[in-house]
Amino acid sequence: MPEEAAAGCARPTGGPVGEESDKTSTSKQTTQKEEQSMIKVGKKAPDFTAPGYQKGEFINTKLSDYLGKWVLLCFYPGDFTFV
């Protein structure tokens, strides 16, 4: 489950896990974007890591840590809006 993350001055970020998408160089990101197909039902959810906040702690989360559980993954435009 989520491990604790250090709260430093740098802005931590996550990203997709595995294959060519692990590195964050600009050229790779461009390639990745072009190759990305839409999500398909019945297919694997792309794994990712992401920093976050949960109940008083900063955490690092990995989607695949939740294998064995049902997951609702929700995106929204920004904090201080509705869901």
Partner 1 sequence: MSIDSMFTHKMWDDDELSKMVGGGVPFPMLSDAGGKVGTVYGVYDEDNGVEARGRFIIDPDGIVQGYEVLTPPVGRNVNETFRQLQAFQLVRETKGAEATPSGWRPGKTTLKPGIDLVGNVWKKWKVEEAFD
Q: Which of 15, 20, 23, 31 binds partner 1 (CB under 8 A)?
A: 15
CB of 72 to partner 1, least distance (A): 6
> Which 3 state secondary structure label does DSSP give 4?
strand
Is 13 near partner 1 (CB under 8 A)? yes
Neighbours of 52 (CB within 10 A): 13
> Does an H or E element contain 54, and which?
strand 48-54
Q: DSSP letter at 20?
A: G
Residues 6+ apart with CB under 8 A from 77: none
Q: How far is the CB of 29 from partner 1 (least distance, A)?
A: 7
- Interface residue list for partner 1 (CB under 8 A): 2, 5, 7, 11-16, 21, 24, 29, 32-33, 36, 38-48, 50-55, 58-59, 61, 63-64, 66-83
